[in-house]
């Protein structure tokens, strides 16, 4: 008899699926068990039953996995920031690498490629250089922290958990969080509510760099009458944390919950902070603004960029085209070994920082263009390249962009992705003309389900 909702089953967890749920099989059906770890024997309750698979939640561990460890954080299990903090780190990396290989073979149809040993994060704790803390109105005033874990089967926006500790970021970041929360609760202003578009406080983003520069970016609703409180918060943080490099206040009018500002309102200190990424004999510095997208694990970024550099095999005569280039991070890291680097990114703000970073590193062979890669005009204007680097958003490469890449026909494509499934789909798109020859999982996000992957595709 097929599994039904609310059935209680006993099963053995065989592996982790991308997303962090344990995978078991019951009567030939795949069952995804939230909270189950590889090697566990568990009792679980089915919360969703389909024809080909079921979803379940952990009720009890009857025989624990040898890979289980004691979580470090008191918030683990209730905070949505970590998914597998109770799994030994070496096993986390092994499971993520297996997910990458499975996706490339099963979805991507790739067969004869070299899967390099995965690159673990150089730091397992306190590795995050940027934290996006959210505000939410509670009964006793504004909360400030991270989103909680939603119960299995629930949909919608998880509530904000007032965290008191976090071991993914620096302890100083948590000190700044606590100080801001105390100030905001005393301000008399409420947190923003997207449901009715009311309230003031929206996000607090804390970024620190390898050069010990710190930027705090406060994002509020567009409410000029209340901007004085935001300015006062900045001054309070600057007094309490004298090593603060920059405080920026931005407003946001749109209801979407993205932790980015739309309009700069107030600033203390520097306009940007400087990040430094190193791998082997290559060291690069970057100017980062308040809305900059940059890899959140600085030492891990060195592993990622170093892998791209290794796979490219540049000799100094190649033109490198860097699509979805953001603030130019990868292209600039490769520029010393290329004849020319051309980056394309939709954000004008990111492109301006890419130019500034190229100048900071005294590079004269880099150029960056602000253009949408969904635009036919932009795609037609792409230069011919020997090596093409593409690091798209989680959803993967846009169809029109994929077709433009095939028209350009570079000798090598370096596809970088934070989602193995969309990466595998894109590899399949190119498979008629390109062969996947090499791949490596690079773990930038210990204790979460996320994994970065670098793949090398060579023209047939």
Annotated binding site for S-adenosyl-L-methionine: 295, 324, 345, 391
- The partner residues of 44 in beta bridges, in order of sequence, read 9, 58
Q: Which residues pair with 215 in a beta bridge?
A: 207, 246
> Whose CA is closest to 338, among 407, 414, 277?
414
How far, CA to CA in Å, does 280 sit from each of 65, 157, 299, 340, 449? 37, 42, 12, 22, 28
Burial of residue 226, with CB atoms counted within 10 A of its CB: 0-12 exposed, 13-18 middle, 19 or more buried: middle
The Cβ of residue 70 has, within 10 Å, a number of other Cβ atoms equal to 7
Q: Write down the catalytic residue from 11, 325, 366, 418.
A: 418
Look-up of token digits 């006993």: 10
CB 180 within 8 A of CB 171: no
SS (H, E, C) 220-238: EECCHHHHHHHHHHHHHHH
Widest CA span in the chain:
68
Sheet with 41-49, edge to edge strand ranges: 8-12, 41-49, 53-63, 29-34, 22-26, 15-16
Q: 142-168 burial, b if ≥16 CB within 10 A, otherwise e?
A: bbbbbbbbeebeeeeebebbbbeebbb
Q: How many CA atoms lie within 13 A of 287 on its CB side?
A: 16
User: Among candidates 61, 36, 24, 31, which has minimal Cα distance to 47?
Assistant: 31
Query: Binding site residues, as ranges?
Result: 295, 324, 345, 391
Is residue 49 within 8 A of residue 4, CB to CB? The reply is yes
Q: What is the Cα Rg of the chain in Å?
A: 23
- Point out which residues pair with 214 in neighbouring strands: 208
Pull the structure tokens for residue 213.
């520069």
Residue 226 CA to residue 198 CA, distance in Å, equals 13
Determine whether 418 is an active site residue.
Answer: yes
d(CA 186, CA 273): 29
Count other C-beta atoms under 10 Å from residue 219's C-beta.
27
In degrees rounded to 5, what are phi and psi of residue 454? -115, 130
Residues classed as catalytic: 418
């Amino acid at each position: 008899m097929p599994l039904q909702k609310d059935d209680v089953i006993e099963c053995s967890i065989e592996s982790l699926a991308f997303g962090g749920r344990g995978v078991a099989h019951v009567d030939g059906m795949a069952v995804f068990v939230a909270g189950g770890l590889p090697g566990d024997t568990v009792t679980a309750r089915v919360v969703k039953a389909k024809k080909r698979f079921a979803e379940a939640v952990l009720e009890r561990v009857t025989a624990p996995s040898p890979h289980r460890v004691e979580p470090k954080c008191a918030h683990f299990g209730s905070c949505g920031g970590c998914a597998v903090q109770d799994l030994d780190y070496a096993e986390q990396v092994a499971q993520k690498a297996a997910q990458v290989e499975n996706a490339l073979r099963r979805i991507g149809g790739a067969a004869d490629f070299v899967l390099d040993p995965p690159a673990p994060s150089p730091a397992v704790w306190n590795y995050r250089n940027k934290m996006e803390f959210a505000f939410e109105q509670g009964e006793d005033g504004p909360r400030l922290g991270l989103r909680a874990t939603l119960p299995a089967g629930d949909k919608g926006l998880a509530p904000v958990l007032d965290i008191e500790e976090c071991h993914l970021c620096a302890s100083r970041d948590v000190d700044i969080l606590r100080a801001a929360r105390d100030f905001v609760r005393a301000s008399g202003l409420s947190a923003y509510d997207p449901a009715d578009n009311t309230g003031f406080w929206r996000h607090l983003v804390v970024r620190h760099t390898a050069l010990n520069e710190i930027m705090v970016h406060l994002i509020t609703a567009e409410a000029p009458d209340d901007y004085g409180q935001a300015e006062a918060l900045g001054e309070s943080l600057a007094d309490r944390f004298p090593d603060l490099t920059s405080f920026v206040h931005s407003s946001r009018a749109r209801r979407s919950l993205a932790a980015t500002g739309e309009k700069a309102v107030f600033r203390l200190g520097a306009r940007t902070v400087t990040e430094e990424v190193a791998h082997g004999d290559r060291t690069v510095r970057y100017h980062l603004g308040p809305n900059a997208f940059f890899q959140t694990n600085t030492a891990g970024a060195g592993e990622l960029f170093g892998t791209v550099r290794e796979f490219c095999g540049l000799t100094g005569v190649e033109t490198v085209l860097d699509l979805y280039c953001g603030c130019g991070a990868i292209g600039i890291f490769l520029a010393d070994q290329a004849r020319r680097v051309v980056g394309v990114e939709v954000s004008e703000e990111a492109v301006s920082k890419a130019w500034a970073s190229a100048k900071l590193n005294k590079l004269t062979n880099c150029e960056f263009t602000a253009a949408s890669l969904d635009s036919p005009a932009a795609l037609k204007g792409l230069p011919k390249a020997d090596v093409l680097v593409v690091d798209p958003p989680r959803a993967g490469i846009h169809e029109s962009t994929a077709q433009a890449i095939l028209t350009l026909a570079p000798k090598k494509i370096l596809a970088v992705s934070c989602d193995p499934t969309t990466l595998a789909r894109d590899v399949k798109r190119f498979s008629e003309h390109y062969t996947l020859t090499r791949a490596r999982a690079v773990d930038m996000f210990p204790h979460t389900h996320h994994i970065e992957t670098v793949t090398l595709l060579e023209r047939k």
